[in-house]
Amino acid sequence: MMIKILLAEDTRDLNRALTAVLERNDFEVDAVFDGEAASEMLGTESYDMIILDIMMPKKDGLAVLRDLRAQNILTPVLLLTARAEVDDRVTGLDAGADDYLTKPFAMQELLARVRALTRRHSAYSGEELVYADIRLNADRFELSSQNSVRLSIREFELMKTLMMNVGHELDTEYLLDHVWEHDPEANPEAVWLYISYLRGKLIAVNSRTVISGERGGSFCLEEGLS
């Protein structure tokens, strides 16, 4: 069965080029040119992955993403961003994006991101990890304790790695190698950013579990004081 992708990109030449490359690599693509059309497609069709440009007419990609996550739709989302849109990238990850790619990019890089996100999403089905007072559920990409929050695929991978290595300090380079898998855009600041996201989500679910460690150093999941 072919993997079905929704592509929303308002630059028509780029939209057509991306569609052609994806289809040549055996993906099925529905292509639209604005965020409003993307939301309409998401209301009637199911997709294995969604690619959203941030800057689009009628409705931007971040608004589409927020609406998607508000409906508890967990489909992996890759954001396309201009290199200057640093704040939008952070906002997008906060809103539930699974990854982002900055323009201009090589088509092979796009294909690598698409394959990674679709492969990981399908591979995690049915998996659940438990430590102290937290549960990590792969079917819903959900971290739960007294409350529950959704995680992006990258947050899920990072939390899974920490939960599978309880009691062991994992340094930043180890996490880059095992969670980011040599992503050329990844760096120690990316690790720190996602550690910060997970710390915030542990607080949000009222867990006593904590992630110890400082920026650029090693990190460890620990059961805090109740």
Residue numbers of the chain with a pLDDT score lower than 70: 1, 72, 83-89, 120-127, 182-184, 225-226
Domain boundaries, the chain: 3-123, 128-223
Task: Return phi, psi of residue 51, to 5°.
Answer: -115, 120
pLDDT given at position 48: 84
Q: What is the spatial distance between Cα 83 and Cα 39, in angstroms, rounded to a whole number?
A: 25
The residue assigned the tokens 């959704």 is 150
pLDDT given at position 45: 83
pLDDT given at position 30: 95
pLDDT given at position 24: 95
Q: What is the spatial distance between Cα 44 and Cα 26, in angstroms, rounded to a whole number?
A: 23
* CATH number at 128-223: 1.10.10.10
- Evaluate whether the domain defined by 3-123 bears CATH number 3.40.640.10: no
pLDDT given at position 78: 93
pLDDT given at position 117: 84
Q: What is the spatial distance between Cα 216 and Cα 191, in angstroms, rounded to a whole number?
A: 8
- Note whether 185 and 112 are within 8 A (CB): no
Among candidates 85, 111, 99, which has minimal Cα distance to 17?
111
pLDDT given at position 98: 85
pLDDT given at position 218: 94
User: Residue 204 is encoded by which pair of tokens?
Assistant: 């949000």
Largest Cα–Cα distance in the chain? 56
Among candidates 167, 158, 165, which has minimal Cα distance to 202?
158
Angle at 12 between CA 82 and CA 62, to 5 degrees: 45
The residue assigned the tokens 């690790």 is 191
Q: What is the spatial distance between Cα 120 and Cα 178, in angstroms, rounded to a whole number?
A: 13
